[in-house]
Amino acid sequence: MTQHEGDPSFRGLATNRVDQDTESTRALPSLVHNQAAVNAALQNEEKDAEETLEDLGVNLSRTPSVKSFYVNFEDGDIRNPVNFSPTRKWVMTLIVCAFAGIYGAAGSSYVMGYSSMIRDLDCTLFQATIGLSMYALGVGLAPLVTSSLSEEFGRLRFYIGSSFLFMLTEVMIAFVSRSPRVETVIVARLLGGVFASTGSTIVAGTVADIWMPHERGLPMSIFSLTILSSMGLGPTIAAWIEANPSLGWRWIQWVHVIVTGVYFISVCLFMEETRSAVILINIARKVRKDKGDNRYCARAEENKSSIASMIKFSCTRPLHFLLTESTVQSFSLWVGFVWGVLYILLDSISGEFKQVYGFGVGETGAVYVTMMRHFQHKGREARLYTACAASVLFPTGMVIVSLTARADILWIVPLIGLTLFWASVFVIYQSVFVYLADCYGPYASSALAGQSLCRNILATIFPLFTTQMFDVMTYKWADMLVAMIAVAMIPIPYVLFFYGLRIRQRSPFSQKIEEDHKSADLENSQGHISTLCAA
């Protein structure tokens, strides 16, 4: 046994010898290529390296001109995220979904503190509403940078950093009493949305990292359910906090600080890196350090761009998806409208049930429990099948709310309409995430970032005219207008259901992803050139 045998850095790895100057060697790594007129010293050096690696159990192809040893996962390597144990996968899935729940609750519970905030900060309802919109704006803009950067630098550091910084923004709002200005709240809400966006966009990329496409239905359903359920649970709890005169809106923020702090500790203790390219880079770096040989590298390390170039590319790639991919465009328009309506209802439910039924603050908060209702989905039903049904359910719920939210009709009837609405939002939201993740695979975070931008821009705009719209049109006709617009959007999921494949076939980017998948399958079928100390 050599001194390197059993080194965990090599265990379970496949190393591909590649002549970077020979294109055919790059394309056919399993073939042996001869090259004449090589330097004798280089031959001796490479021969010594080969003998050392053969002692480690490596069978290298005899390519004289070797500049790189590519490290890769071997089949079944437990360090490959897709090969994590089910328990390990579910622990990480639940951890990242918890951040999605924190993000959702922080966005919606804010509205329940309007009354005490207006009293304490001497601001208007419109100024308080800007805080709701700024949160959505931050959530929409940040993924333009963070989604692609997480694909380059890994997911883990974003979960740790964003959860800690998000907690600080909640502290900033809670301490605003020392400088009683609503502008401080608005800025903190914008920053909070920026840091909370990790719970909206990168989670989908993490799910795509560790679960195979046919396994993603349930994890993505849990992800979507967590966001929407938390958007109902948050206001329900916040309403009773607001109802206590000694607590009010600041304690709503303190509760978020406590919950986020617990989450931050959990991430630090239990979360792992799931981006396979980043894991391979870390492994290659360790191999280079242990062997003192800089020829070992991961493919992702080739042609590494500068940080500035990465940020520029990170900002433009989601926009590229949004502006050029028909699938992303149509889904973004649809879910953007749905999300905008959701924020309208977040802003208006309290006033509507107070005005029509005389509900108190706590009772009004209980109305948001309807957002925690959902339908169970499994397998392929978690994709476009149920999205088609949800496109009809969405306007149906709004029509029921519009026609029955009257004092002479029992309050439970419009709540049934709201339950149908929230159920449809859950299905639409979850279907969009799973479908885009399946279509764009390793670039799921970028595709979802483009969708998130459109969705949250509409969520930013809609609440700003909610009060004026309901004052002019009344709750009945404003809800009916929303329902009619939703009816006009019913065909969107049906078109994608029947013609989605044809649409993707006309997309150069989708075709490139498909070709990459085929190339990867071909390389895997041929087998790696060599294996380093299989465990």
Residue 273: alpha-carbon gap to chain centroid: 15
Q: 216 with 434: CB under 8 angstroms?
A: yes
pLDDT at 33 (0 to 100): 39
Name the residue with higher pLDDT: 516 or 252.
252
Query: Is the pLDDT assigned to residue 144 strictly greater than 90?
Result: no
Query: Is the pLDDT assigned to residue 124 strictly greater than 60?
Result: yes
Q: Encoding tokens for residue 377? A: 């989905």
pLDDT at 176 (0 to 100): 74
Name the residue with higher pLDDT: 174 or 361.
174
pLDDT, tens digit, for every residue of 399-408? 888 888 777 7
Q: How confident is the model at residue 20 (pLDDT cuts 50, 70, 90)?
A: very low
pLDDT at 527 (0 to 100): 42
Q: How confident is the model at residue 288 (pLDDT cuts 50, 70, 90)?
A: confident
Q: How confident is the model at residue 62 (pLDDT cuts 50, 70, 90)?
A: very low
Closest CA to 253 of 96, 457, 99, 116: 116
Highest mean pLDDT among 253-267, 272-286, 300-314, 418-432: 253-267
Query: Is the pLDDT assigned to residue 248 strictly greater than 50?
Result: yes
Name the residue with higher pLDDT: 535 or 361.
361
pLDDT, tens digit, for every residue of 147-190? 777 777 888 999 999 999 999 999 998 887 655 688 889 999 99
Q: How confident is the model at residue 333 (pLDDT cuts 50, 70, 90)?
A: confident
Name the residue with higher pLDDT: 441 or 46.
441
Highest mean pLDDT among 219-228, 236-245, 510-519: 236-245
Average pLDDT value for the chain? 75
pLDDT at 370 (0 to 100): 53
Query: Is the pLDDT assigned to residue 412 strictly greater than 90?
Result: no
Residues forming beta bridges with residue 17, ordered by sequence position: 69
For the domain spanning 81-274+308-514, the CATH number is: 1.20.1250.20
457/255 Cα distance (integer angstroms)? 27
Let me know if 317 is exposed, middle or buried by CB neighbors in 10 A (0-12, 13-18, 19+).
buried
Query: Is the pLDDT assigned to residue 339 strictly greater than 90?
Result: no
Query: Is the pLDDT assigned to residue 89 strictly greater than 90?
Result: yes
Q: What percentage of the chain exceeds 90 in pLDDT?
A: 13
User: How far are the Cα atoms of 40, 381, 405 from residue 222, in angstroms, in the given order?
Assistant: 60, 14, 31
pLDDT at 359 (0 to 100): 57
DSSP 252-305: HHHHHHHHHHHHHHHHHHH-----HHHHHHHHHHHHHHHHT-TTEE-GGGTTPP
pLDDT at 180 (0 to 100): 66
pLDDT at 260 (0 to 100): 94
pLDDT at 3 (0 to 100): 42
Query: Is the pLDDT assigned to residue 394 strictly greater than 80?
Result: yes
19-23, 71-75, 500-504: segment of lowest average pLDDT: 19-23
pLDDT, tens digit, for every residue of 443-481? 776 777 788 888 888 888 888 888 788 888 888 888 888
Amino acid at 445: S
153/50 Cα distance (integer angstroms)? 32
Query: Is the pLDDT assigned to residue 380 strictly greater than 70?
Result: no
The whole-number average pLDDT for the span 326-346 is 83
Query: Is the pLDDT assigned to residue 427 strictly greater than 60?
Result: yes
Each domain of the chain, given as residue ranges in start order, spans 13-73, 81-274+308-514
Name the residue with higher pLDDT: 66 or 195.
195
Backbone phi and psi for residue 403, each to the nearest 5 degrees, phi listed first: -90, -15
User: How far are the Cα atoms of 39, 263, 406 from residue 257, in angstroms, in the given order?
Assistant: 64, 10, 39
Work out the number of other CB atoms within 10 angstroms of the CB of residue 112: 28
Question: Quick one: which H or E segment has residue 17?
Answer: strand 13-18
pLDDT, tens digit, for every residue of 479-501? 888 889 889 888 888 887 777 77
Query: Is the pLDDT assigned to residue 301 strictly greater than 90?
Result: no
Record the pTM.
Answer: 0.71
Backbone phi and psi for residue 106, each to the nearest 5 degrees, phi listed first: -65, -35
Query: Is the pLDDT assigned to residue 52 strictly greater than 60?
Result: no
pLDDT, tens digit, for every residue of 183-209? 889 999 999 999 998 877 788 788 888
CB-based contacts of 86: which residues, under 8 Å, 6+ apart?
A: none
Backbone phi and psi for residue 250, each to the nearest 5 degrees, phi listed first: -65, -35
Residues forming beta bridges with residue 72, ordered by sequence position: 14
pLDDT at 42 (0 to 100): 43
19/24 Cα distance (integer angstroms)? 9
Q: 423 with 393: CB under 8 angstroms?
A: yes
The whole-number average pLDDT for the span 29-56 is 43
